[in-house]
Amino acid sequence: MELLEDGLIAFFSAVGLTSCIWLIAGAILGTGKCHNREIRIVLPVRDSAPAMESDLRDLLRVRRQIPHADIVLEDQGLTPECRRLAEYFCQRYDGVFLTEANHSQK
């Protein structure tokens, strides 16, 4: 029983030490987030864009690590219904823009 207790104490000591080192390294090295305000994530969409909504949600999750990045939905020939959906997403989410494929501006 004493061997088990010693093993558990050693395990939790190692985990605690590793956690402390991880926290200190994170504080010294920074948060790991990008602060460049010029980043744009471009999602080309065309036709009926069956995966546009799920792809956009994935990019919104990625954008948490790059808080100032814009997400650009690049219309490469969307159907009118999907274009309306893309316009809705632009209104619903900050930093999401819709652009035509041959234009590079928001």
pLDDT for res 65: 82
Name the token pair of 30. 């920074």
Domain ranges for the chain: 1-30, 40-100
Measured at the CA of 52, the angle between CA 83 and CA 84, to 5 degrees, comes to 15
Asked if 71 contacts 80 with a C-beta cutoff of 8 angstroms, the reply is no
Q: Work out whether strand 70-78 and strand 96-100 pair parallel, antiparallel, or are unpaired.
A: parallel
Instruction: Give the pLDDT confidence score for residue 85 in this predicted structure.
Output: 94
3-state secondary structure of 62: helix
pLDDT tens digit at each of 106 positions of the chain: 788 888 888 888 888 878 878 777 777 766 555 566 678 899 999 998 888 999 999 999 988 888 788 999 999 999 999 999 999 999 999 999 999 887 544 4
Rounded to 5 degrees, what are φ and ψ at 31? -85, -15
Q: Quick one: pLDDT at residue 36?
A: 60
Alpha-carbon 12 to chain mean position: 33
> Which pLDDT belongs to residue 106?
46
